[in-house]
Structure 1
Amino acid sequence: MKKRVLFYLVAIVTTFSLQSCVSNYVVSQPNIYKTDAKVTPVVVKAETSDNIQAKRMLASLNNASNSIKASMIAEAIKHEKTIDSILDEASTYLGTPYRYGGTTRSGIDCSAFVLSVFGAAAGVNLPRVAAAQSQEGDSVDKSELKKGDLVFFSHGRGRISHVGIVEEVDENGEVKFIHSATSRGVMVSSLNDKYWGPRYRFAKRILKENSLVLNQTSTQSQIN
């Protein structure tokens, strides 16, 4: 009898212990963190056909602009080389004696000197006399003179009677020109010279950048 009572007591104690364990068991929950930060969605837009076409047009314009710049640079270089060729040719005449009506290196006058130099170095055909040469090209202000320009002079009554080629314009604006003078033949003088300065009348530019002022197509059409 005592054994049976003891068994029941053990069973009751065990039951209460199990209930206590169950009631004390807590299932842990995952931690949930909250934030006020707003997440901006990334939207990837596909390029439209208009955008693609606009980009292609812009690229074409840039290529065309680069091509034009390259062409302008090439023309400027070509122009400078032509002017240098003219002055190099002119310098080979230095010391050649002056001869009225002369057209050779044994004796040459001012206008024949100019037409010979331009013809040999640039393929430009100028009139024979200075007065007629003064009608060619574009007028140039004295302050804008450059190498290769023609300067014209008058010895009286306003009639053009002498011509030279600008050889140099220094940093102070002094203009030096090469010409065939009656006194010393082909030489270099300055527009500041007390003789030539007062006799200076105007200047003309026969060659300009990108094109010749003189129309050489007429010669080509005659050939064709």
Structure 2
Amino acid sequence: MKKRVLSYAVAIIATFSLQSCVTNYVVSAPTTYQEEYKSNAKLASLENKKLEDAKTQLLNSFASAKAAAAKSLENAAKNAEIAKTIRFTKKIDEILTEAESYLGTPYRYGGMTRRGIDCSAFVLSVFGAAAGMNLPRVAAAQAQEGDRVEKSDLQKGDLIFFAHKGGSRISHVGIVENVTEEGEIKFIHAATSRGVMISSLNDSYWGPKYRFAKRVITPETVEAQLASNN
């Protein structure tokens, strides 16, 4: 009897043990697969994020490089324009310095030297020496050069033309020497009365005789001259 009971007990324990193993086997297998799937999915997600981050960084790098290049070109253009303006201003200063060196030179009709000079010879001598320009000999011909400029837009270095007898025939020329803050236009010229001098367009004598102005030198002409010299 005891042996039979013992046998039953052994059989029951074995059955429970077997069921437990089977249960453990059946339950644990899906859990391991799910964890592996989740792990792989997480790794894939991380890899995708890394790729997206790398792509974003690359695009940002390209955008930054493009912006930097555009800014560099913009700065270069600004610097070139500033340098161009400086060269032009310097050339105008050289022209006026040359013109002012004639102050006091006596007037002589047909004269072309510092011993005596007329208005058009004065202008062509100044522009020839300071700017390397070949202007015509007489004022009427010089009036055909350059671009017309309104009186309100006159600048240093512009040529201004006059008619002595009240008509349209140009008989005198001068160089704008300064434009004051109040708008007064001063010019340097070879006058028959006092030789090379500085006068004002506000003057009761010269004001009514003024006809028009021309700009014969510009930043572009200065650059072209520099290019030809190089």
TM-score bracket, normalised by the shorter chain, equals 0.7 to 0.9
Contact kept, 8 Å, 1:180 with 1:186, in 2: the verdict is: yes
Q: Which has the higher helix share?
A: 2
- The aligned residue for residue 197 of structure 1 is 207
Distance 1:215 1:203, change over 3 A: farther
The alignment yields a C-alpha RMSD, in angstroms, of 2.2
- The aligned residue for residue 11 of structure 2 is none
Distance 1:154 1:188, change over 3 A: same
TM-score normalized by structure 2?
0.71
- 2:173 paired with 1:169: no
AA in 1 matched with 2:116: G
Structure 1 CA distance for aligned equivalents of residues 223 and 122 of structure 2: 18
Which runs of structure 1 show a deviation greater than 2 angstroms over 4 or more consecutive aligned residues? Answer: 43-55, 213-217
- 2:66 paired with 1:57: yes
Alpha-carbon offset, residue 52 of structure 1? 2.9
- 2:194 paired with 1:184: yes
Structure 2 CA distance for aligned equivalents of residues 174 and 214 of structure 1: 30
Q: SS in structure 1 opposite 2:171?
A: strand
Q: Cα deviation per residue 1:183-210 (whole Å; 9 max; x = unaligned)? A: 111000000000100000011111122x
- 2:96 paired with 1:87: yes
Q: Aligned match of 2:164 in 155, 164, 176? A: 155
Structure 1 CA distance for aligned equivalents of residues 194 and 145 of structure 2: 27
Contact kept, 8 Å, 1:96 with 1:107, in 2: the verdict is: yes
Structure 2 CA distance for aligned equivalents of residues 134 and 49 of structure 1: 62
Q: Cα deviation per residue 1:32-85 (whole Å; 9 max; x = unaligned)? A: xxxxxxxxxxx7733254443232221111111111111111111111111111
Q: SS in structure 1 opposite 2:188?
A: strand
Structure 2 CA distance for aligned equivalents of residues 101 and 215 of structure 1: 31
Superposed, 1:25-174 pairs within 5 Å as 45-46=53-54, 47=56, 49-156=58-165, 157-174=167-184
Contact kept, 8 Å, 2:88 with 2:222, in 1: the verdict is: no
AA in 2 matched with 1:95: G
Alpha-carbon offset, residue 216 of structure 1? 5.7
- The aligned residue for residue 32 of structure 2 is none
Distance 1:175 1:196, change over 3 A: same
Count of aligned residue pairs for this structure pair: 176
Alpha-carbon offset, residue 214 of structure 1? 11
Give the fraction of aligned pairs with identical amino acids, expressed as a percent.
Answer: 62
Gaps of 5+ in 1: 1-42
TM-score normalized by structure 1?
0.73
AA in 2 matched with 1:174: E
Distance 1:172 1:154, change over 3 A: same
